[in-house]
Structure 1
Amino acid sequence: MARLHLPRWLAWVGVPLVLLLLLVAFWSWDWFIPLAERRASAAIGRTVTIGHLHLQPGRISVLTAEDVRIANPDGFAADAPFAQAARLVAQVDLMESWRRSALVVPEVVLQQPVVEAASRDDGRDNYTLDVALPEPGQPAALQIGILRIVEGRAHIVLPHLQADLRLAVATRDEAGAAPRLAATISGTYADQPITGEAIGGAVLALQADRPWPIAVQLANGPTELSLEGTLRDPLALGGAELRLVLRGPDMALLEKLTGVPIPRTANYEVAGRLDQVEGRFRFREIAGRVGQTDIAGTVTVGTLTVGTIESRVDVVGELHSRRVDLADLGGFIGEEPGRVATPGQTPEQRRALARNEAQARVLPDEPINLPKLQSTDIRISYRADSVIGRNVPFDSLRTELEVKDGVVHLRPLTLGVGRGQIAGNVTLTPAEEGRMRAEADVQFQRLDLSRLMQATRTFEGAGTINGRARLTGTGNSFATILGAGNGTLTLGMSGGNLSALLVDLSGLRLANALLSSLGVPGRTAVQCFVGDLVLQRGVLNLRTVLLDTEDVLVAATGSVNLARERLDIRLRSSSKSFTIGTLPTSILIAGSFRNPSVGPELGELVARGGAVAGLAALLAPVAGLLPTIQFGTGEDNRCEAMVRRGVPQPAR
């Protein structure tokens, strides 16, 4: 039987051809999934899985990966991956890849990507990836041209920020430009509802030296934020040309947005330029208002590392106001900020101000928030050219505020009054049980009495007031600090006008009837005024208070209880000439700070001679007190003259 012999060449060609046909018939790019998963997992330090893999070969090859997932790290739910996409389509330029020795991908399309980002109270999160970045100056192994996102979604949960955000993310095609990134935002932030939208440049244009446009509009509760401009280094906020506008009813609500503790304020609107310099956020060219106070300047915010793990917010600023309403600064001392009539106040703020004015207590009793102060270092320089407000005797304000390790320094705090000023250093130091220890040393330097009178629309009179006050106290609010405080207050004046002195310096609206009862005309020249008061455990005792005028000598005794906010002061006068209608008794100022009463002390009917004897006894400590008071250069020694001549004899 004859045998069939195939040519040898056919065997060499046919067998590989059959194998090739079988390979083509049964080929699957899914065979390369394990290799692709290993490479991708190594690149980001997280397990990556791929459902299916397809490739359309060509000069521009198209690689399609379906059901792509990036797993959570250990300790997070395994059934809900950190990120997933229904389909990832990448174009690969083989020729350019060969020429550049890098994988060149002209375009990537992410279809229906979903991100579930979360952090925990212990500081761990699932969104920090261990991405290997190229060395400086070295080209990237992967070079992507355009990234498109179709129907993307993100859910972000950050408990430490009280944030639960949902984002709808997609790219928008624009003629002649790369697709721009756009997102709508909803959910909660800082335990407040948040809504907004953001439009940026091309996703893959997030690289240095290329301006990247951005426009953001957000509403977080009642706070509104607008940010628009360009960045040259978006990931580091470098080379910024951004305009930031903030507006809302209360700057204290910005703490969760900025990390900076801010006292409660009246409604505000501020705008300025935002960038980052040497790792610090800088808000410069600020222009705006807080209540009725204009504000300008620069503030920078950074983070300081203390030890190995603790970080602190560090705030440095220089602020300036042309005009300041002191009521707008009420939040700094635990008072309701603003006024009922301040434009733009919310109904809630107006009701709070009305309740504050109606309550029995006057001194600010809002607790000082120590945890906020102890987590932030602050250095702020502030000056105001003028002070506005009804019956405010101050002309200007300057202070240097420093907060470090929870200790607050105001050094100095200066209030201008005419040609003089009230200047002092104030320190608040954390104490036990959430309290603060306060120390204050304040000097009254040539206070212009005519400026004090202008506050009550009285434009006559002259003279300067000098003195000094020292205070120490411990509490959790300014009311409790004063209510347990100790210290001294010394004041003195030569010359001036009596009516303005009594009305403005005592802080009481004494009626003309009171002046008449003391035998004092509505306008009379002041020869000398001396006050020596001592504060002991919250009770201010009037140790020596004497007023010598052309017509009468007046002495004040009694006390002011700062803890209970009660007055118990007696005014007694000795006329230098015969006066009709002068009451032969003390005038009693008593009652609460909010509603004091003024009138003759019933039950005390003292002969005028007895009054003179009592006043004479008060002159003895004045002689020792005078050297501690600087009455001003070039003024006469009227107070010394008062002591030398003694108490005048009563008229007969």
Structure 2
Amino acid sequence: MAQRRVPRWAIWTGIPVFLIALLVAFWSWDWFIPLAEARASAALGRPVKIEHLHVRLGRVTEVSVDGLRVANPEGFPDDPPFARAERAAVRLDVMAFLRDRSIVIPSIEVTRPVVEARALEDGRTNYAFDFGQPAGETAEPRPPSAAPRIGLLRIVEGQAHVVDPRLKADFNLAVATRSEDTPDARIAVEAKGTYAGQPITGTATGGAVLALQDQDKPWPIEMQLANGPTRVNLQGSLRNPLELQGADVRLEMQGPDMGLLQALTGVPIPKTPAYRIAGQLDYADGRVRFRNFQGRMGSSDLAGTIAVTTGGAKPNVEANLRSSRVDLADLGGFIGEEPGRASTPGQTAQQRRERARDEARSRVLPDDPINFPKLDAANVHLTYHADRITGRNMPFDTLRTDMELKDGAITLRPIALGVGTGKIEGNMNFVPEEGGRLRARADVQFQRLDVSRLMQATNTFEGSGRINGRGHLEGSGRSFAELLGRGSGEITLGMSGGNLSALLVDLSGLRLGNAILSALGVPGRTTVQCFVANVGLNRGVAGLRTVLLDTEDVIVNATGNVNLSTERMEVRLRSESKSFTIGAIPTSILIDGSFRNPDVGPDMSELAARGGLIGGLAALVAPVAGLLPTIQFGVGEDNRCESLVRRGRPVARQAR
């Protein structure tokens, strides 16, 4: 029987069909893993590994990978890697691409992603990517393409571990999308660990991640954060989330010390008492703004707007602040002193201990080093105005200043303190030097200082007159105590007319008893003819060159020196009575000892007979005459100091 031959067409048709069937039976998308890994590794600039690749073809094609792993850059350990995920799936609308070349991604889903974000002490990080030019691409610019339209992003049980020794940070983040209360899956984050060396916990929820692209739909955001004792609460919405614009967000912050906010904000802030402030947060003109905030800081209120620009080498901060009532003790952190008082509300146990330490130490001038790294951490322009100054024994009424901090150098131009109808106003400059020191210069004017207001600070409400003068200071040091203790300069003060009640106040802050003043021959109430003081500062030692008080009853002269470095003084007060006084002690009054505990009493070592008014007045008037041209007493004031000079000159001629 003849054998039947297979038609040639069947052979040519059957072999391809068989091969296709064989290919379909044994097809695996894993064959394309090397190509996918190579393309992903080239794009990210580090090795990318995939265990399995799956593709489901159709009008909407789904591409998924299992066992995704993104390695660390060189210099970091291989395990754990930078990122890994059990599964990542992307659905692509193929027909939309074929129709108009638009990229439509209906959904992205990532299952159990884990990110290990690390930084080293030298500043290197494993989360900084170098997106190089893909292989075969030229460097010629290409026309921009439309952004992909993404429908839904779903994250299932995501985790992140963040470690940065420079920030003293080691915390974990749990990240997931939730759709229990809304059809749009919202992003939810929980944090726990340490930041800035303190425990940190927090929760944050936001709108659907992909809704960030929709500028016409407000994107809700809510966050509660606790970093040590600092509490931050943020709630509101953003109209344009990707640019932080169209914000309707309320930010509340509270804690025992604003200085702790530097770790969270990057903005240098001195130590403060306990605070609580709230305001609106937005982003405009390239700046993050905390605007129209109000709150309290210690015993003071605080309001204003702070804007921070972070695009340059260091943050630029613009702050416009004001207080209706301020206790200057709350601002002590700006000069290296522990802020607040023992009675300031909201103090922590540590702040109470530091306050007790300050009050127990023998020094009066603040000697805590100024934190110079903070000074160089940002450029700051600050304007501040206090309508009323309160606090124990404060002779000041108002405060205003305009401060510029640039590259570590501080300029206060001006700084002004109101005293009754007068003021103390000046310009100050602080420039950093080697060894952590500041070079300081201050030029100050005293304009019509109200003596009655100065006396109120010592709980005595009698006295009148206006003090004028000027002064300048230069020095270098790590603290304000060291600046003064090594400084040089001069101060000149004068008053013409007025009256004093028992002279219970002087500019050094000492309050002398009636018995001592009676010993000087000063009556309970007297009219001031002239007061002139000229004090020179040389390397921290203030020498009383001329200190003269001429009343209608006595002339009081002060001599001696005050050492600002050792905080000790030796000052003698001597009076010349214009009439016979039975109770006057025939010797000087000596004020010596430390600033904290001065001793006041008759100078028993002075046994020489008193020289009398004729010789004393002649010796005292000469320096007064030289100082008068440097003191602006004010238009219309009775310059009685000129009368003292006229009286002294004839006496001097008679003595010759």
In the aligned structure 1, how far is the partner of 2:504 from the partner of 2:442? 25
| C-alpha deviation, 1:61, in angstroms | 4.0
Offset, 1:183: 1.1
> What residue identity is the alignment partner of 2:499?
N
**Matched-pair contact (CA < 8 Å) for 2:48–2:68:** yes
Partner of 1:89: 89
Deviation at 1:393, TM superposition (A): 1.0
Is structure 2 residue 105 aligned with structure 1 residue 105? yes
Taking the aligned partners of 1:60 and 1:398, their CA distance within structure 2 comes to 66
Selected match of 1:262 from 269, 272, 285: 269
What is the CA-CA distance between 1:563 and the residue it aligns to?
Answer: 0.8
8 Å contact kept, 1:281–1:300: yes
What is the distance in 1 between the residues matched to 2:504 and 2:471?
A: 19
* 1:4 alignment partner in structure 2: 4
Give, as a single letter, the amino acid of the residue that structure 1 aligns with 2:474.
T
The residue number in structure 1 matching 2:362 is: 360
Q: State the Cα distance separating 1:234 from its structure 2 match.
A: 3.4
Deviations 1:178-216 (A, max 9, x none): 111111101121122211111112122232614322211
- Give the match for residue 199 of structure 2: 193
Indicate yes or no: 2:300 matched with 1:298. Answer: no
- Offset of residue 130 of structure 1: 4.6
Q: 1:480-629 residue pairs with structure 2 within 5 A? A: 480-499=482-501, 502-610=504-612, 613-629=615-631
Alpha-carbon shift at residue 13 of structure 1 (Å): 4.0
Deviation at 1:223, TM superposition (A): 1.4
Distance 1:135 1:263 in 2: 50
Q: Which residue of 1 aligns with 2:241?
A: 234
Q: 3-state SS of the aligned residue for 2:117?
A: strand
Q: 1:93: Cα distance to partner?
A: 3.4
Bigger mean CA deviation after superposition, 266-275 or 200-209: 200-209
What do residues 306-339 of structure 1 show as CA deviations (whole Å, max 9, x unaligned)? xxxxx22322221111111100111111111001
Amino acid at match of 1:578: F
Contact kept, 8 Å, 1:336 with 1:356, in 2: the verdict is yes
Per-residue deviation at 1:457?
Answer: 3.4
Q: Deviations over 1:594-621 (max 9, x none)?
A: 1111111113244344476334412221
> Counterparts in 2 of 1:70-89, with a 5 A limit?
70-89=70-89
Rate the CA distance shift 1:443–1:502 in 2: closer, same or farther, 3 A: farther
Aligned match of 1:119: 119
Q: Deviations over 1:232-267 (max 9, x none)?
A: 443443333322222111111122222222211111
Q: Using the aligned pairs only, state the percent identity.
A: 62
Deviation at 1:556, TM superposition (A): 0.9
Other-structure match for 1:67? 67
1:526-563, Cα deviation, whole Å (9 max, x unpaired)? 11111111111111111111111122111111111111
Q: 8 Å contact 1:576–1:648 — kept in the other structure?
A: no
* Aligned 1:379-390 pairs, distance under 5 A: 379-390=381-392
For residue 397 of structure 2, what is the aligned residue in structure 1?
A: 395
Q: Work out the number of aligned pairs and report it.
A: 643
Change (3 A) 1:324 1:135: farther
1-side partners of 2:269 and 2:502: how far apart? 37
Alignment pair present for 1:166 and 2:172:
yes
SS in 2 for 1:391: coil
Larger displacement relative to structure 2 (207-216 or 521-530): 207-216
After alignment, is 585-594 or 605-614 more displaced? 605-614
Between the aligned partners of 2:472 and 2:112, the Cα distance in structure 1 is: 69
Is 2:250 the partner of 1:243? yes
Distance (whole Å) between structure 2 residues aligned to residue 136 and residue 294 of structure 1: 55
1:128 aligned residue: 128
Give how far 1:30 is off.
Answer: 1.5
* Deviates most, 415-424 or 59-68: 59-68
CA distance in 1, matches of 2:491, 2:88: 77
Once residues 500 and 272 of structure 1 are traced to their aligned partners in structure 2, the CA distance between those partners, rounded to angstroms, is 50
Residue identity in the other structure for 2:5? H
In structure 2, distance between residues paired with 1:66 and 1:347: 53
TM-score normalised by the chain length of structure 2: 0.93
Q: 2:36: which partner in 1?
A: 36
Q: Which residue does 1:339 correspond to in 2? A: 341
Which residues of 2 match residues 417-496 of structure 1 at below 5 A?
A: 417-496=419-498
| Conserved? CA contact 2:61–2:93, under 8 Å | yes
What amino acid is the match of 2:3? R
1:38-77 per-position Cα deviation (integer Å, ceiling 9, x unaligned): 4444554443321112234444444332101122223322
Q: C-alpha separation between the residues in 1 aligned to 2:332 and 2:614?
A: 44
| 1-structure distance, mates of 2:311, 2:648 | 64
Q: Find the aligned partners of 2:509 and 2:168 in 1 and give their Cα distance.
A: 46
Out of 225, 229, 248, which is 1:222 matched to?
229
User: Conserved in 1, the CA contact under 8 Å of 2:462 and 2:500?
Assistant: no
- Normalised by the length of structure 1, the TM-score is 0.93
Structure 2 CA distance for partners of 1:527 and 1:145, relative to 1, 3 Å = same
Q: CA deviation at 1:588?
A: 0.9
Give the unaligned 5+ runs of structure 1: 306-310
5+ long unaligned stretches in structure 2: 134-140, 652-656
What are the Cα deviations for residues 551-601 of structure 1, in whole angstroms up to 9, with x where unaligned? 211111111111111111111112223333221111111111011111111
CA separation in 1, counterparts of 2:121 and 2:247?
A: 33
SS in 2 for 1:505: coil
Partner of 2:137: none
How far apart are the structure 1 equivalents of 2:524 and 2:241? 69
Task: Check the 8 A contact 1:107/1:145 in 2, yes or no.
Answer: yes
Is 2:267–2:377's contact at 8 Å kept on the other side of the alignment?
no
Residue equivalent to 2:293: 286
Instruction: Give the secondary-structure state (helix, strand or coil) at the position aligned to 1:458.
Output: coil
CA distance in 2, matches of 1:585, 1:515: 13
Deviating more after overlay: 608-617 vs 262-271: 608-617
Name the stretch that deviates more: 349-358 or 93-102: 93-102
Paired with 1:324 and 1:295, the residues of 2 have a C-alpha distance of 8
RMSD after superposition: 2.4
CA contact (8 A) 1:452 1:500 kept: no
Say which is worse superposed, 36-45 or 585-594, in terms of deviation. Answer: 36-45
Does structure 2 retain, via aligned residues, the 8 Å contact 1:46–1:72? yes
Match of 2:51?
A: 51
Equivalent position of 1:371 in the other structure: 373
